[in-house]
Chains A and B, each alone.
Chain A
Amino acid sequence: MAARRNIPVGLLFILCSLTFLIATNTHETTSTSEHPDKAVNLPEKSTETGGQTTEQPAVEERQWEPTEFQEETVNDAAAEKQDATPPETTTTSAGAHPKDDFQEELVIRPLQSGDVYASFQFRTLWETDFMKGNKVSHYRLFPKSLGQVISKFSVRELHISFTQGYWRTMQWGQPFMPSPPGAELWVWFQDSVTDVDGTWKELTNVLSGIFCASLNFIDSTNTVQPSASFKPLGIGNVTDHRFLRYATLPREIVCTENLTPWKKLLPCGSKAGLAVLMKSEKLFHSSFHSQAVHIRPVCQDSECTTTSWELRQTLNVVFDLHTSGQGKREWSLFKMFSRTLTEACPLASSSKIYIDITDNPQGEQFELTPATHLLSQAVVLGDRRTFSVYDLTEANTFGSMRSLNLKTRPKSGGYIHYQPSKDRVRPHLLEMLVQLPPNSVTEVTVQFERALLKWTEYTPDPNHGFYVGSSVISALVPSMVAMDTNNTKERPLFSSFFPCKEESSYFVRIYTEPLLVNLPTPDFSMPYNVICLTCTVVAVGYGSLYNLLTRSFQIEEPNPRLAKRIANVIRRLRGVPPLA
């Protein structure tokens, strides 16, 4: 019965060994390239176009070829400098006007409880159309594996997240990108797809290969089509929820094997830019770790004359610095990530680090070194916060928000959509649209019964229990600060994920804790015994009734003694009449 788990384990093993091989190979290629001196941390311009390529060796992994860089070399020097002088490079690639754009940023927010919340966001914008007839074959910044997935499966929006740990809202506030524990995948397909379930199944298997996760466990028993929430986050006018699929695997464990292919999707990989900080031995030694990929079509400008595809990769991690034995709250990039930043990704049009200093306006709680003069303010989750900005490429300015009066809007009545489950076919889906009265507590309870499954339907560790995925609360919360409904305006990445449709409220999505339910198990060592014993009982019934039905009462003649019986037998053989 562990056959089902052996396949992803085997796949992981093969991919790990392949990754190891690739890592050793790239190490050799980079060590053989020329490095003038270690003090220079500025990549040269495109004078070495024909230089080394950091392409991966032609190892066929999962039949998707990684992106190729015909650009400068990447310098992976181990200088101690953390940053600050903006380098003078621009990221013009060889060729025509750039239709694709890459931005990266890191937000660091010290939390009240002493932990540090770091959120990486990498966004690639590409003005192309996967849906038209001409096949896109020249990939530059956009990863080819995901582009092929989009065009092959006619995906309109794809959101996938892998999370380890549970977000403690009471101590940490709200995350920028909420995600439930385990793996969560929700996809909007184009309306040209005829067989959505079949496409969904293929898509989950392909994504399972791309991200080295066991997403192949997603099937009809844990897929639902929510009708009221998970509306598209990008543009588009298809809102028929038949094209939406949502699945969650609360049991999924996130580890290095998931981080490595995720990092490979970045244009600079983990060689330059902010992705250098993402080393798994520190990232997984944290209280909360979540990595996600979001693909959606967005408008390029406010009139929406052109659309482009946006790929966002986000990584949220909360470090508990108390575990490292520090008495004081002292942190640095090196302490958190055990790496330092040397340069921006040369392919990025903007590369910034934001430190949240809202709780420290006069510098009394902590001090930032090296100091920076750049400040910006952004409205995130209905709250205006102040950030110190370190621009790794060049200085940018942010517009500041102005506050306006709030406008309240009445909401429509309650709506309940309930789809009961069918055993072994589909899960329960309960969607409720409620308006919560202020200053009150609303409780939603669901009664359930535990079921006994067939012995083959249990996982190899049945006593661990079964996970019930997180519930999702999607809410429009009245905002104290007016939001800007112009979604194409230039904004930091962390505040521009959820589109704003109205000025007076912002959208927030909260995931609850998953539930671990202990189900009664049969004794797995007993199939043969059970079959024998139950059939014995049935046979007892059959035997008694058979005797009573086919036999009749007769007077019993006593058996003669043994000698007489033998004598009678011999007499019968001789043909002589027997004894009395």
Chain B
Amino acid sequence: MAAPLTVVLIVAVTVRACLFRSSLADLIAERVEVVSPLNAWKRVVEGLALLDLGVSPYSGDVFHETPLIIYLFHFLVDYAEITFMLADVITAVALYYAVQDYNTQVLRQQKFALEAERLPLDSLELIRSPRQMYYIPLKVAMVYLLNPFTVLSCVAKSTCGLNNAIVALFILSTIKKNALLSAIFLALSTYQSIYPVTLCAPAVLYLLQRQYIPVNVRWASFWWFLLQYAFMYLGSLFVIICLSFFLLGSWDYLPSVYGFILSVPDLTPNIGLFWYFFAEMFEHFRLFFLCVFQINVFFYTIPLSIKLKEHPVFLIFMQLAVISIFKSYPTVGDIALYMSFLPVWSHLHRFLRNIFLVSCVLLACSALFPVLWHLWIYSGSANSNFYYAITLLFNVAQILLVSDYFYAFLRREHHLTYGLYLKRKDGSEATLVLK
């Protein structure tokens, strides 16, 4: 399987290189859908220039990257294009191997369930064969690399690509059962933007599952492992934060990076829900709604973990989707990451209800974003409400997509337990509803 993957990599790198050399690169680097105040390349360059001038990059309101990014690009600023292409390649390869390992796990669990005869007979249709699952890792890598969102994000040199690479490495190390690396990469990605801290729960659940420790608060080994993981995670986070302090010699970066992410002072339009909401918010309620919106991102962790404690990889997908939709400055790069997981759940297609509508809406909105932006800012014939409406629609479509996959997943699990063709008491065909 290495050969097709290499081909896909070469094609992806070629596409990106062509776009880098064309005149579209500057145009794409300024699109608000692709870059946000947190990860724009122009701001990285500005921060490095301020550092050369002797002024702290965090003294103004332009630079909101972490000090480790300064450190990285201090050496790599001339090779930026290669760095971002390499980050995309690393993400794709990491996802490839992670999904491959996960598929092996799924097949093994299925085999045990079949042998233990826990599956009702008529749901054998839902069993997946290795043949069906053979091309899934390649599809995942292809979807990530050739997704227009990813390509745009890479050509714009948005540091979202680096964040995605770190999250992909975290997923790979979790699925490969390496708790220490998983904790380190999770600490790095939390350090970059705060929201991946919610990925702690699926990581812990997965590692417990692989070690055959039941998720039960009465078991001592559960608490012991939890403590170990928490210690590794917090330790690496502490080390990284102290390293950042010593890099520039001050704690300025904490309010500039994390204060900025949490308090949303910059209202540049993007594809998220925060900007217009806080542009039009009454001052009296601003803090209240800011807290509500930020809690909204973190708050689905516990319920989702309880519901999906046997399926931690699906939980990772759900968490990534929730973060990408509800974070304060989303970009299309974040969306590309969770969308690359969709081929893993391709077997759920028979239970998806809204997929046609959702995909049409997503395509239409992606096409309308630049059009309405141009009409608002350059032509002046539309106003901000047009762009805002498309933002709303785009987010509703994403929410429907995610909840549709969740529904399909739960339904398949239900069928695997109770059988595919269900009958009512009088023998006629039954319909399943959520009650």
Contact = CB atoms under 8 A, between A and B. Distances in A.
Contacts of B277: 530-531, 534
A545 B321 CA distance: 12
Interface string A515-559: 000001111001100110110011011101101110111111110
A505 B414 CA distance: 90
A534 B276 contact: yes
B392 A451 contact: no
Contact of B383 (A523, A531, A540): A523
Contact of B62 (A420, A526, A547): A420
Nearest to A542: B296
A540 B435 contact: no
B265 interface: yes
A452 B279 contact: yes
Contacts of A522: 276, 279-280, 384
B281 A527 contact: yes
A418 B432 CA distance: 66
Most B CB within 10 A of own CB, among A451, A452, A456, A552: A452
B309 to A, nearest CB: 12
A551 B435 contact: yes
Nearest to A423: B61
A422 interface: yes
A38 interface: no
A423 B434 contact: no
Contact of B273 (A526, A537, A556): A537
A420 B400 contact: no
Contact of A556 (B268, B325, B403, B433): B433
A337 interface: no
A69 to B, nearest CB: 52
A548 B384 contact: no
Interface stretch (B121-129, B191-199, B300-308): B300-308
Interface in B242-274: 265-269, 273
B430 A555 contact: yes
A554 B280 contact: no
Given A453-B279, A554-B433, A554-B435, A540 B396 contact: yes
A297 to B, nearest CB: 34
A541 B325 contact: yes
A453 B281 CA distance: 11
A459 B434 CA distance: 52
B392 A537 contact: yes
A550 to B, nearest CB: 8
Contacts of B62: 420
Contact of B432 (A423, A538, A556): A556
Most A CB within 10 A of own CB, among B42, B62, B280: B280
Contacts of A58: none
Contacts of B266: 423, 451
A520 B267 CA distance: 11
A213 B406 CA distance: 63
A553 B407 CA distance: 10
A531 B50 CA distance: 38
Interface stretch (B4-12, B52-60, B164-172, B210-218): B52-60
A451 B268 CA distance: 6
Contacts of B433: 553-554, 556
Q: Chain B contact residues: over half helix, strand or loop, or mixed?
A: helix
B59 A520 contact: no
Interface in A129-173: none
Interface string A5-38: 0000000000000000000000000000000000
Contact of A455 (B42, B279, B407): B279
Interface string A434-460: 000000000000010101111110000
Interface string B165-181: 00000000000000000
Given A418-B55, A555-B422, A549 B399 contact: no
Given A521-B384, A549-B307, A555-B422, A541 B432 contact: no
B280 A530 contact: yes
Contacts of A521: 383-384
Nearest to B293: A538
B88 to A, nearest CB: 26
Interface string A256-283: 0000000000000000000000000000
Interface in B390-416: 392, 395-396, 399-400, 403, 406-407, 410-411, 414
A53 B59 CA distance: 59
Contacts of A419: 55, 59-60
Nearest to A520: B377
B329 interface: no
A396 interface: no
B282 interface: yes
Contact of A418 (B50, B376, B385, B396): B50
Contacts of A538: 273, 293, 296, 326
B117 interface: no
Interface in A485-528: 520-523, 526-527
A455 B396 contact: no
B131 interface: no
B132 interface: no
B55 A455 contact: no
Contacts of B269: 452
B283 interface: yes
Contact of A544 (B276, B296, B399): B399
Nearest to B404: A544
A464 to B, nearest CB: 14
Contacts of A453: 267, 279
Contacts of B399: 537, 540-541, 544
A416 B49 CA distance: 12
Contact of B53 (A416, A523, A545): A416
A548 B282 contact: no
Interface in A407-431: 416, 418-424, 428
Nearest to A530: B280
Contacts of B388: 530
B291 to A, nearest CB: 13
A421 B376 CA distance: 27
Contacts of B300: 545
Given A455-B279, A552-B435, A557-B424, A541 B326 contact: yes
A191 B262 CA distance: 41
Contacts of B267: 451-454
Contacts of B410: 548, 553
Nearest to B395: A537
Contacts of A523: 280, 383-385
A453 B280 CA distance: 9
A526 B280 contact: yes
B338 interface: no
Nearest to B57: A420
Contacts of A547: 434
B396 A537 contact: yes
Contacts of A447: 42
B22 interface: no
B28 to A, nearest CB: 16
Nearest to B430: A555
Contacts of B376: 520
B278 interface: yes
B431 interface: yes
Contacts of A416: 53
B369 interface: no
B253 to A, nearest CB: 15
A555 B432 contact: yes
B275 interface: yes
Given A420-B55, A538-B326, 5 more contacts: A522-B279, A531-B281, A541-B399, A548-B307, A553-B411
Interface of B: 42, 50, 53, 55, 59-62, 265-269, 273, 275-283, 289, 293, 296, 300, 303-304, 307, 325-326, 376-377, 383-385, 388, 392, 395-396, 399-400, 403, 406-407, 410-411, 414, 422, 424-425, 430-435
5 contacts: A452-B268, A455-B280, A522-B279, A534-B273, A540-B396
| Nearest 5 Cβ contacts at the A-B interface | A420-B60, A544-B403, A551-B434, A527-B280, A530-B280
